[in-house]
A and B are shown apart, each in its own frame.
Chain A
Amino acid sequence: MKTANPFGQNIRPVGEVWVWVSGVGLAIGLFMIGFLLAVILWNGLNFFWPKRVALIELDPVGRTEFRDQKLVAGVIMARLALTPENLSPGNADLIDLAIEDPDYMREMQVYTGNRDVFANRNFAFLNMGDIVGITYPDDMLVLERTEWGNAIVRPQELRLGDGMIIAADDPSFSRQLRTLVNEVRERRATITRIERSQIGRLNARMSRERLEVRYLDSLEDPTPAQQAERASRVERIDEIESLIRPLMEQSALLRGMQREHSLAFTLIDGTERVQPLGDVINFYFPNKKGLFQRIGWFLFKIWEFITDYPREANTEGGIFPALFGTFVMTVLMSLAVTPFGVLAAVYLREYAKQGPLVSAVRISINNLAGVPSIVFGVFGLGFFIHEVGAVIDMVFYPRMVAINTPVFGTGGILWASLTLALMTVPVVIVATEEALAAVPRGVREGSLACGASKWQTIQRLVLPASSPGILTGLILAMARGAGEVAPLLLVGVMALAPSLPVDGMFPFVHLDRKFMHLGFHIYIVALQSPDTEATKPLVFASTLMLILLVIVLNLGAIMIRNHLRRKLTSSAF
């Protein structure tokens, strides 16, 4: 006889399997996110790590050569497997060779630098079967230059301006080189300061005057007053030019001094070269560095990357303008999206009579969040730039319209921010509505019973109580807005903007200026540079910075939100 089970016959926990299935779903999601972050973190940070330079010796009788030499110096980037299908007919015998030594079916990708000499190529691909030795000699030197990327060289001697020569094996060579490089670095900063801010400021004034003159010239029948104005403006242009001239002379003089000292070195193929130190940004002996020196260098490179301007069509240097442009745009977007989103949500939730119309509006807003972003870009172009901007120009800059140089009637950071604000406003509305709905009815009734008006209730109780929820919406909006590129293409983003949207020149915030954006920068670097293979690490590093920027912005908002939450719910203020 069966013993009676008081809980029924089936004592296996029914439905337990769904715990596992749902758990696996979550695990896969988390794994993918973790993997994504890990890949970007690893590749992004790897870009900054100072790698050793290998001297690779090739088999004298093998087929692999590098510029008719059997020696290659460079950073080993990757080891790639060859596939039989991809071998050229002349290399078909590699398959047979690989039977004895599988290395014949592998290739080593080596970053050789010296783009100026090596026919604009950054990499050498070496058959690993032909490699007979890899060493890391101490005297290998990496030069970071203002042009042509890095040079990987063996230094010969320092040629000073006064004719003195310091040989590379001189014990003081490294120290002397450091001193001189620091000297040219400071001088370069001075030149940049003169050219970018002093001359740049005067140039900006001058180009404004020139535009006015162009307008006055375009008049068919200028009045005497206009003729007088033209004369005075021309005079002012001359005045500014006379101010610029000494600055130009000064910078030319400094530029000349930059060429005073030079470094002689040989490339690995034996070519001798002399590089003026003015072109050298930095240098290091990669094989001599210890771990702590490497870590120091790594941190320094990250800092440099964040704070430097890009060089050589964005393929070298830092990302400061892009980072700054993204930041300013996101802040402007937040400033625009929050009031509109919150007010719209307040009307929808608090004032509008709930009914089919409001439901329809609500559904439309939700759907707006799913509209492809490029559509917003087209709208921004068609509405903000061609309509609003054109009207602003007609009212405030009629002369610029006359000579066909729009100010606000062309892409700029204001229109980009407003376009993104429009794109993200549904997120804020939805979040705010939810937050408003969560404010207890009792609080509203209590307030009304105290003699408060509806608006006073909203302003004094409902909005403060829902501010954490509103900030959550803003966080989501910022995360979406900061990473969006497609709409920006149409409303004012630039691959290389001449100036920052915020600077020391009156009125400090230049809403009409075009700007650089990190997302667009990544796109440009990844797809539009001469050697996309060489800029791959840069893409990862820039992506890492974009993620970090979004994290920093979000952390800021989260901290404010948590502060508000504590203030609203805890017993202590």
Chain B
Amino acid sequence: MSNPFQQSLFKPKAAGAEASSSQPDFIRILDYNFYYGEAQVLFDLNLDIPHQEVTAFIGPSGCGKSTLLRNLNRMNDLIDGIRHEGDITIDGHSIYDPYLEVISLRKRIGMVFQKSNPFPKSIYENIVYSLRVAGRSKKSELDETVERSLKSAALWEEVKDRLQESAFGLSGGQMQRLCIARAIANRPEILLMDEPCSALDPIATGKIEELIHQLKEEFTIVIVTHNMQQAARVSDRTAFFYLGKLIEYGETEQVFMNPTNKQTEAYVSGRFG
């Protein structure tokens, strides 16, 4: 909290809620180029992601959609030799601001990974992890967070009697929902999902899609998926990437039913990709 910027990055929650629907450029990606060493993987991207909607990134493997998603919370900082041009802003503030601590950025952006990655701790400790690292350890607050997050992730009924058991005892689908619960525990504004259902069976996938529908009431969700039907089902807007370029971006219905670009049409109709 010593960093004044940490507070000014986002508007207070209450104020943000009022302005929510009228904020079509909550996340802005401006003339964005991204390089792994010498290799450029993202080319001149420009797109605005609206507040409290689900935006899907689709495209064939290697098109850079995951890279872009992982840049939104600067997860790619871990990799040596990365470089970017252009800017990404969230709520008007650059995520590359030198005065911004990357930790405070990530505290406001939850992330769910392709492979579920529960921590080797109890279910309870998994959920409260983000609170604990933020230095919050009031028992009542933690308990309340666990219940709220697990209920939001539709997992509460299944695990409420074994919160102190290891998270490794859960099934694949439950683990992924636990990861979602963990990602939303600290009330982030944005939820990034990197192919969250790729390792799950259809029933678990269905549950998570249902969950995404509910979560968009509260969060701005960006989801990367390989599954066309899933993108069509869960998202409000869809961006189609190909070879690091944004080919088409618009209302999901329009992108799927009436694509303006031939490549998009070919991809969404399953003719290539």
Among candidates B73, B133, B166, residue contacting A452 with C-beta atoms closer than 8 Å: B133
Among candidates A450, A568, A571, residue contacting B129 with C-beta atoms closer than 8 Å: A450
- Tell me the bound Cα distance from A146 to B106 in angstroms: 75
- Tell me the bound Cα distance from A464 to B132 in angstroms: 16
Q: Are A451 and B134 in contact (CB under 8 A)?
A: yes
Q: Are A573 and B122 in contact (CB under 8 A)?
A: yes
Does residue B156 face the partner (Cβ distance < 8 Å to A)? no
Q: Are A451 and B130 in contact (CB under 8 A)?
A: yes
Does residue A360 face the partner (Cβ distance < 8 Å to B)? no
Instruction: Please give, as numbers and ranges, the residues of chain B lying within 8 Å of A354 by CB-CB distance.
Output: 80
Number of interface residues of B (CB under 8 A): 32
Q: Are B117 and A442 in contact (CB under 8 A)?
A: yes
Does residue A156 face the partner (Cβ distance < 8 Å to B)? no
Does residue B269 face the partner (Cβ distance < 8 Å to A)? no
Instruction: Please give, as numbers and ranges, the residues of chain B lying within 8 Å of A452 by CB-CB distance.
Output: 103, 129-130, 133
Chain A nearest CB: distance from B174 CB in Å?
A: 12
Cβ-closest chain A residue relative to B107:
A451
- Tell me the bound Cα distance from A451 to B166 in angstroms: 22
- Tell me the bound Cα distance from A354 to B81 in angstroms: 12
Instruction: Please give, as numbers and ranges, the residues of chain B lying within 8 Å of A532 by CB-CB distance.
Output: none
Q: Are A450 and B165 in contact (CB under 8 A)?
A: no
Q: Are A447 and B129 in contact (CB under 8 A)?
A: yes
Instruction: Please give, as numbers and ranges, the residues of chain A lying within 8 Å of B109 by CB-CB distance.
Output: 449
Task: Produce 1/0 per residue, A439-482, CB < 8 A to B.
Answer: 01011111111111100100011001100000000000000000
Q: Are B75 and A449 in contact (CB under 8 A)?
A: yes
Chain A nearest CB: distance from B134 CB in Å?
A: 6
Chain A nearest CB: distance from B108 CB in Å?
A: 8
Instruction: Please give, as numbers and ranges, the residues of chain A lying within 8 Å of B107 by CB-CB distance.
Output: 450-451
Instruction: Please give, as numbers and ranges, the residues of chain B lying within 8 Å of A456 by CB-CB distance.
Output: 133
Cβ-closest chain A residue relative to B110:
A449
Residues A278-333 near B (CB distance < 8 A) = none
Does residue A164 face the partner (Cβ distance < 8 Å to B)? no
Cβ-closest chain B residue relative to A461:
B119
Does residue A17 face the partner (Cβ distance < 8 Å to B)? no
Does residue B182 face the partner (Cβ distance < 8 Å to A)? yes
Residues B54-75 near A (CB distance < 8 A) = 73, 75
Does residue A353 face the partner (Cβ distance < 8 Å to B)? yes
Task: Known A448-B75, A450-B129, A450-B133; judge A465-B120 contact (CB<8 A).
Answer: yes
Instruction: Please give, as numbers and ranges, the residues of chain A lying within 8 Å of B182 by CB-CB distance.
Output: 446, 450
Cβ-closest chain B residue relative to A443:
B117
Task: Known A451-B107, A453-B133; judge A569-B120 contact (CB<8 A).
Answer: yes
Q: Are B133 and A446 in contact (CB under 8 A)?
A: no
Does residue B246 face the partner (Cβ distance < 8 Å to A)? no
Residues B78-107 near A (CB distance < 8 A) = 78, 80, 103-104, 106-107
Does residue A10 face the partner (Cβ distance < 8 Å to B)? no
Instruction: Please give, as numbers and ranges, the residues of chain B lying within 8 Å of A444 by CB-CB distance.
Output: 78
Does residue A371 face the partner (Cβ distance < 8 Å to B)? no
Instruction: Please give, as numbers and ranges, the residues of chain A lying within 8 Å of B132 by CB-CB distance.
Output: 460
Task: Known A449-B75, A449-B183; judge A573-B164 contact (CB<8 A).
Answer: yes
Q: Are A571 and B168 in contact (CB under 8 A)?
A: yes
- Tell me the bound Cα distance from A450 to B109 in angstroms: 8
Instruction: Please give, as numbers and ranges, the residues of chain A lying within 8 Å of B111 by CB-CB distance.
Output: 445-446, 449
Q: Are A451 and B119 in contact (CB under 8 A)?
A: no
Residues B140-171 near A (CB distance < 8 A) = 164-166, 168-169
Does residue A572 face the partner (Cβ distance < 8 Å to B)? yes
Q: Are B168 and A570 in contact (CB under 8 A)?
A: yes
Task: Known A445-B113, A448-B78, A450-B129; judge A571-B73 contact (CB<8 A).
Answer: no
Task: Known A448-B106, A450-B106; judge A573-B113 contact (CB<8 A).
Answer: no
Does residue B186 face the partner (Cβ distance < 8 Å to A)? yes
Instruction: Please give, as numbers and ranges, the residues of chain B lying within 8 Å of A572 by CB-CB distance.
Output: 165-166, 169
Q: Are A449 and B119 in contact (CB under 8 A)?
A: no
Chain B nearest CB: distance from A92 CB in Å?
A: 79
Instruction: Please give, as numbers and ranges, the residues of chain A lying within 8 Å of B186 by CB-CB distance.
Output: 450-451
Task: Known A569-B168, A573-B165; judge A446-B122 contact (CB<8 A).
Answer: no
Instruction: Please give, as numbers and ranges, the residues of chain B lying within 8 Å of A460 by CB-CB distance.
Output: 129, 132-133
Among candidates B103, B169, B183, residue contacting A453 with C-beta atoms closer than 8 Å: B103
- Tell me the bound Cα distance from A447 to B107 in angstroms: 11
Instruction: Please give, as numbers and ranges, the residues of chain A lying within 8 Å of B115 by CB-CB distance.
Output: 442
Chain B nearest CB: distance from A572 CB in Å?
A: 6
Does residue B45 face the partner (Cβ distance < 8 Å to A)? no
- Tell me the bound Cα distance from A440 to B78 in angstroms: 14
Residues B205-228 near A (CB distance < 8 A) = none
Does residue B49 face the partner (Cβ distance < 8 Å to A)? no
Chain A nearest CB: distance from B169 CB in Å?
A: 3
Cβ-closest chain B residue relative to A353:
B80
Q: Are B80 and A442 in contact (CB under 8 A)?
A: no
Q: Are A461 and B169 in contact (CB under 8 A)?
A: no
Chain A nearest CB: distance from B68 CB in Å?
A: 16
Chain A nearest CB: distance from B53 CB in Å?
A: 21
- Tell me the bound Cα distance from A461 to B179 in angstroms: 15
Cβ-closest chain A residue relative to B125:
A460
Among candidates A353, A446, A465, A573, residue contacting B166 with C-beta atoms closer than 8 Å: A573
- Tell me the bound Cα distance from A573 to B168 in angstroms: 11
Among candidates A445, A465, A570, A573, residue contacting B75 with C-beta atoms closer than 8 Å: A445
* Residue from the set A446, A452, A569 with the largest chain B CB neighbour count within 10 Å: A446
- Tell me the bound Cα distance from A440 to B120 in angstroms: 11
Residues A518-573 near B (CB distance < 8 A) = 568-573
Q: Are A451 and B120 in contact (CB under 8 A)?
A: no
Task: Known A442-B117, A451-B186, A452-B129; judge A571-B166 contact (CB<8 A).
Answer: yes
* Residue from the set B80, B106, B169, B179 with the largest chain A CB neighbour count within 10 Å: B106
Cβ-closest chain A residue relative to B104:
A451
Instruction: Please give, as numbers and ranges, the residues of chain A lying within 8 Å of B179 by CB-CB distance.
Output: 446
- Tell me the bound Cα distance from A571 to B129 in angstroms: 18
Chain A nearest CB: distance from B47 CB in Å?
A: 22
Q: Are A446 and B117 in contact (CB under 8 A)?
A: yes
Q: Are A445 and B119 in contact (CB under 8 A)?
A: no
Chain B nearest CB: distance from A119 CB in Å?
A: 70
Chain B nearest CB: distance from A553 CB in Å?
A: 27
Instruction: Please give, as numbers and ranges, the residues of chain B lying within 8 Å of A450 by CB-CB distance.
Output: 106-107, 110, 129-130, 133, 182-183, 186
Instruction: Please give, as numbers and ranges, the residues of chain B lying within 8 Å of A568 by CB-CB distance.
Output: 120
Chain B nearest CB: distance from A444 CB in Å?
A: 8
* 5 interchain residue pairs of minimum CB distance: A571-B169, A442-B117, A451-B107, A449-B111, A450-B130
Which B residues fall within an 8 A CB radius of A?
A: 73, 75, 78, 80, 103-104, 106-107, 109-111, 113, 115, 117-120, 122, 129-130, 132-134, 164-166, 168-169, 179, 182-183, 186
Which A residues fall within an 8 A CB radius of B?
A: 353-354, 440, 442-453, 456, 460-461, 464-465, 568-573
Q: Could you list 27 examples of A-B contacts with CB < 8 Å?
A: A354-B80, A442-B113, A442-B117, A443-B117, A444-B78, A445-B75, A445-B78, A445-B111, A445-B113, A446-B118, A447-B119, A448-B78, A449-B75, A449-B106, A449-B111, A450-B182, A450-B183, A451-B103, A451-B133, A451-B186, A461-B119, A461-B120, A569-B166, A569-B168, A570-B168, A571-B166, A572-B165
Known: A461-B119, A573-B165. 5 other contacts (CB 8 A): A354-B80, A450-B107, A451-B107, A569-B166, A572-B169
